[in-house]
Amino acid sequence: MATTGKSAAVSHVGKIRSNNQDSGYAGRYLFVVADGMGGHAGGDVASAIAVKRITETDRQYSSPNDAEFALRSALLAANSLLAETVFEHGELTGMGTTVSGIVRVDDHIAMAHIGDSRIYLFRDGVLKQITADHTFVQRLVDSGRITPEEAAVHPRRSVLMRVLGDVDASPEIDTAVMKTLPGDRWLICSDGLSSYVTEDKIQAVLGSFPTAQEAAERLVKESLDQGAPDNVTIVLVDVDASGDSAHEPPLTVGSAAVPLVFEADSIRRPMRLPSLLLHPLKATQTDDSHFEPESDEYLAALIAEDRRRARKRRVSWLAFVLIVIAVIVAACILGYQFTQRHYFVGAVDGRVAVFQGVQQDIGPIKLSHVYKTTTIDLDELSPYYQQQVEATMNANSLAEALGIVDRLSDARKP
Ligand code: CA
């Protein structure tokens, strides 16, 4: 197969999933990634239908704005097609798909995007995310409720607020036109890459593998190295001065690359309730992308539940800290009391003294104090006893310490 090497498309089922619900396409002017959802009820069908429909727009456009309009229209047409398919095949109810795509028009890129697949621009060694995720957690980040770091590990990070599917007849699609320069690399990927491989790592790979094919394969490998819990799809488009990034011939990968089989085995598919008919807060799947309708009431319910969780986390964290402090304080008190049952004989200002406690100190904390100073001068003792007193003499009780003092008193030089 002859390729120009200026673009690449790679899709992998990953290490956990049994089927690939992603689809990707690298064509002459058009490049797309779609990530389907709906479990066994059609995620693969949804992304395949969408990508097949959208690839009909792979042609040369006279202006970037024409391309943007055509791409947007293609996504809306794919949305209608998905709704029609669900109408004819009830078992596919609830299926949906993300779509992120670009069309190259000379030194411009037209793009359209819905869902949480991503378009990145790698320029002058720096990776920049161009699209915004249509996810619940991105909403929370945008409104300042959580940080991007918290979003990355949030239990609801795969809840999507917008997709193509059978729910909304006119879904809101983000579109844009951007200038592109020779040397730019456009990366389109499913969340099977962006959720598991850091942007630093992606940037490093794009900076070190010169051909699109090698870089795309390496990105898939990075995801596999992270355990690849999800399907992963990469479409990479290199821009050079020729104005041509074409994949020749066009290449389709993932579920759109295999024939649609849902009609043949539809009887085996279990009937599933669409997620919006279930209680929204109970329908949560933390390990799987799924779509939730973007209604204000639903968003309010999610945010309220989120606050409750955060409050609960804060309360249990505070309780934990208090218990730890109590344990440390109790240990210190018990330990101090233990040391104060001991005595020893030593010297203070040239005199023999009885100390309560132990000789060792903990940093600045003294574990002993003078209990009683005697009238015995060190000078009155023999050099042997002087040495003994200066080195301190242990006693297991006050009586034993006083006994030592008596012996020293008796041993005074006449
Ligand atoms: Ca995915």
DSSP conformational letter for 343: E
- Domain end position, chosen among 234, 259, 294: 294
24 C-alpha to center of ligand 1: Å?
12
Residues 361, 287, single domain; the answer is: no
Chain centre to alpha carbon of residue 98 = 20
pTM of the model: 0.68
- Of the CA atoms within 13 Å of residue 25, those in its CB half-sphere come to 29
Residues 89, 226, single domain; the answer is: yes
244 C-alpha to center of ligand 1: Å?
30
160 C-alpha to center of ligand 1: Å?
11
Annotate 239-285 with DSSP letters as a single string. --TTS----SS-EEEEGGGS---TTTTGGGSPP---GGGS-TTTS--
Domain membership of residue 208 as a residue range: 7-294
165 C-alpha to center of ligand 1: Å?
15
- Domain end position, chosen among 231, 265, 294: 294
Residues 350, 233, single domain; the answer is: no
pLDDT for residue 3: 40
Is residue 300 one of the residues assigned to a domain? no
CATH number for the domain spanning 66: value is 3.60.40.10
pLDDT for residue 99: 98
99 C-alpha to center of ligand 1: Å?
11
392 C-alpha to center of ligand 1: Å?
72
Residues 204, 284, single domain; the answer is: yes
pLDDT one-digit tens code per residue, 123-143? 999 999 999 999 988 988 888
22 C-alpha to center of ligand 1: Å?
7
Residues 137, 244, single domain; the answer is: yes
Residues 347, 290, single domain; the answer is: no
Is residue 123 one of the residues assigned to a domain? yes
129 C-alpha to center of ligand 1: Å?
17
Is residue 310 one of the residues assigned to a domain? no
Residues 255, 353, single domain; the answer is: no
The domain tally of the chain equals 2
Is residue 324 one of the residues assigned to a domain? no
Is residue 2 one of the residues assigned to a domain? no
34 C-alpha to center of ligand 1: Å?
9
Please identify every stretch of the chain with a pLDDT value under 70, giving residue numbers as ranges: 1-5, 39-41, 261-296
Residues 12, 104, single domain; the answer is: yes
108 C-alpha to center of ligand 1: Å?
28
Token pair of 155, please?
């239990």
- Domain end position, chosen among 294, 322, 353: 294
Residues 271, 370, single domain; the answer is: no
Q: Ligand 1 (ion): which residues have CB within 5 A?
A: 35, 190-192, 230, 289
Is residue 128 one of the residues assigned to a domain? yes
Report the alpha-carbon distance of residue 67 to residue 139 in Å, rounded: 29
173 C-alpha to center of ligand 1: Å?
19
Closest to 37 in 3D by CA, of 142, 102, 114:
114
Residues 166, 22, single domain; the answer is: yes
Q: Which residues are bridge partners to 356 per DSSP?
A: 343, 369
Is residue 96 one of the residues assigned to a domain? yes
195 C-alpha to center of ligand 1: Å?
9
Contacts of 158 (CB under 8 A, 6+ apart): 116, 135, 191, 195, 285, 286, 287, 288, 289, 290
Residues 59, 184, single domain; the answer is: yes
294 C-alpha to center of ligand 1: Å?
19
77 C-alpha to center of ligand 1: Å?
22
DSSP conformational letter for 135: B
